[in-house]
Chains A and B, each alone.
Chain A
Amino acid sequence: MTAFTQLESACVVLPNENIDTDQIIPARFLSTTTRKGLGEHAFSDWRRDASGQPRAEFPFNQPHNAGRSILIAGRNFGCGSSREHAPWALTDLGLRAVISSQIADIFRNNALKNGLLPIVLDEAIVQELMLRPDDVLHIDVAGNTLRTPDGRRFAFPLDAFARTCLLEGVDEMGYLLARADAISTFEQRREQELAHAG
C-alpha cells in the first residue's frame, strides 16, 4: 500500500441514506477472481438505465465530477454485505475518501485496508458540505482533520493504528506475520488448556 498523508479535491455528492453494498457494486458483478476493473460497474443500477444507457443526471456520469476523489454520502453508508468489492469499486473510480455521518462497520474496515479513508462527521456538517460540492476540501491524515476553503477545520475519528498504516503505507498482513511467535505460543498454551479440560 502506498502512503496516504494528504488529499485535496472537490466532491461528488450522493445524498441518499443507507447506500448499501448492493448499490455500490451489484452482486452480479462479484463473479470475478481479480480486484481490478470494478469501477466500471460501481453504482451500475443508478448509473445506467434499463437499456444500459448512462443516465445523464447521475453524478458519476457528469463531466465536471471527473477526477474528483471525495464522495459525500447520506447516513449509514456501506451497510449490507462484507464484500470488499465495494471499496475496490470505489477506489477504481478514483475515490480516496468517503464522508458520511455514519459508515457501516465492515465497510469502514474494508475501506481502510484499501487506502479509502472513511470520514465520519456530524450530520449538520455533512449536510452543509453536500450543498457545496465544488468546494475543494483539504484532508490531513496525520492530524485527522478536514479543512474547508473558508479555513474551518473539522476533526474526524481515526483509529491510531489505522492512521499509522495509512501514513506509513504499512499493511496489516505484514504486521500480523511479524507476530508469528506470539501466535505459536498462544496456540501451544491453548492446546494444553483444552487437553487439560478434556
Chain B
Amino acid sequence: MNPRTLFDKIWDAHIVVPETDAAPAVFYIDLHLLHEVTTPQAFTELATRGLSPRRVERCIATMDHSTPTLPADAEGKLPYASVASEQQVDALRENCGKHGIELFDMGDARRGIVHVIAPEQGLTQPGMTIVCGDSHTSTHGAFGALAFGIGTSEVGHVLATQCLLQRKAKTLAIEINGPLRPGVGAKDIILHVIGVIGVNGGTGHVIEYRGSTIRALDMDARMTICNMSIEAGARAGMIAPDEVTFAYLANTPRAPKGAAFEHAKARWSQFCTDDGAAFDREVKINAADIRPTLTWGTHPGTAIAVDAPIPAPADDSARKGLAYMGFQASETVAGREVDVVFVGSCTNGRLSDMRDVAMVLQGRRVHPRVRMLVVPGSEQVKRAAEAEGIDRIVRAAGAEWREPGCSMCIAMNGDIVAAGQTAVSTSNRNFEGRQGPGSRTLLASPLSAAVAAVTGYVTDPGVFLSDRIAETI
C-alpha cells in the first residue's frame, strides 16, 4: 500500500460509502459529544421525524456553556444567567433521559467542558472519529483522532445515522523543531502558528502537527495546540499518538485495561504518518523563533511577540481592529494596562494550566486594579488542583476560584468583561464583544495571563520569571 498520512488512515477506516463527484462520502462517527447549546433543535428534528438515536452508547453529554460558575445558594439553587439558560440545561437533561444517553449532569464529578472531560475519561482514543456541535472539537486530535466541529443539523444526522456526509479534506503538515525558550509554552506556539499562516491559512485542510518540539509536549499542551486549529481556519488538527499518549490513556477510567490495553496500544501505534507520505502543504517553524505571544487585534491572526511593535495597519480591517482595541501601530502589547484576567476554557483550563498560574501567584497579590477569574475546565481538574492547594494560592492572591465551565470564554453564563475593559484571556477567541459587548480581549498563555494579573500590565513572562529566579538566588 502507498504510504499514507495519519489523516488518510483514519479517513479510509471510516468510509461507509465512498465519495464520488456527485456525492460526498458517507462517513462513520465513533464518538458523539453533546452539550446544551447546540443540541435542542437537533432533538426536536428527530422528534418531528419520529426518529430515535441509532447508537446511544456512542454519545456522551455534558453541561458547560450556559452553566453558572458560582456555587448554589442556601436552597441549592444554581445562579443561572437567565431562564433561557436554565431551560437549555433542562432540555438536554430531558432529551438524554428520554433516549438513554449518558449525561454528566450538574453535580456529577465527571462534568466539565466537553473538550476537557472526554480526554480525561479516556473516551477520546487514537484512530477514532469524534464530532461535537462545537468548533473546538479539534482538541481531541491531540490523541491522533480525527475530531471536528459540526452544526446542529449535523448533530441530528449523527444522532439518527451515526454518519455524516463528508468530502475529504486536504492535508497540511506543520513541523516545529527545537527547544522552546523560557516562558514559552503550547499557547504561544499555536498563537505563533496562526500569526504565521493566518486565520484562513488552514481553510479546507486538516493540520498534522509534527516535529521534535511537538513530541516533547505533554498531552495538556498538545490539546492546547490542536484546540486552536480552527482559529487558523482548519477543519481539524491532529498529532500522532506515542508513548506520552499511551501513558496518559493508561490512567483514564474508560480506556481498555490489562491485556486489552496492550492490544489497543498495538492498534493505536499504527495511527501515524508513514515515511514518504505526502502532504498537500507543509510549513516548517523553528521553535527558537517563538516568543511569548499575545494578540493585539480582533481575530487570532493578530498574534505578535509580547515585545514586538504592532505593525502599521495594512487594510481597513486591521485599522478597525486597532481602533476597537485602543492600540496604536508601533506600540507593543507589553505595557498595556489590564482590567480583567481570565484563566480557563477548553484551550487552557487543565491541571497544568492551573499549576502555571499557581507558580506565578504563589506568595504574590493580584494587582488592585485587576479582577482575576480562575475557572478549572472540569470537576476533575478542580479536585486535582484543590488537592495540590492551588485554590488556596489563587484565593490568597486575591483572585476568584470558580466552579468548572466555559465561563468568560464565551460569556453566556453571566461571567462577562465590561465594555471598554481590557481582558488578558487564556481562551481562544478575541472577536469583538466575545467576552461581553464592547470587551477587548488579548489572547495569552496561562503564564502570561498570571503575570499580567500580578503586575497589572501585559508583561513578558520570560523576563518576569528570570527576575523571579534571580530573587531566589
Contact = CB atoms under 8 A, between A and B. Distances in A.
A102 B301 CA distance: 16
Interface of B: 16-17, 21-24, 26, 28, 37-38, 40-41, 44-45, 49, 51, 54, 65-66, 81-82, 84-85, 87-88, 91, 133-135, 149-154, 156-157, 160-165, 167, 199-200, 203-204, 230, 233, 235, 260, 263-264, 266-267, 298-299, 301, 315-317, 320, 410-412, 419, 429, 431-434, 437-438
A110 B8 CA distance: 25
B88 A113 contact: no
A22 to B, nearest CB: 4
Contacts of B37: 30-31, 83
Contacts, number: 180
A180 B157 CA distance: 12
A20 B431 contact: yes
Contacts of A15: 316
A189 to B, nearest CB: 10
Nearest to B133: A82
B431 A198 contact: no
Contacts of B437: 26, 45, 50
B173 to A, nearest CB: 19
20 contacts: A18-B317, A23-B433, A28-B412, A33-B41, A33-B91, A45-B433, A76-B200, A80-B135, A81-B429, A102-B200, A105-B204, A110-B151, A160-B22, A173-B153, A173-B156, A173-B160, A186-B28, A197-B266, A197-B267, A198-B264
B151 A109 contact: yes
B49 A173 contact: yes
Interface string A99-122: 000101110011001100000000
Interface of A: 15-18, 20, 22-23, 26-28, 30-35, 45, 50, 74-76, 79-85, 102, 104-106, 109-110, 113-114, 159-161, 164, 172-173, 175-177, 179-180, 182-183, 186-187, 190, 197-198
Given A79-B233, A173-B45, A177-B161, A161 B24 contact: yes
A82 B164 CA distance: 15
A1 B287 CA distance: 50
| Residue from A28, A74, A85 with most neighbouring chain B CB atoms (10 Å) | A28
A22 B38 contact: no
A180 B51 CA distance: 13
B431 A183 contact: no
A28 B437 CA distance: 10
Contacts of B301: 18
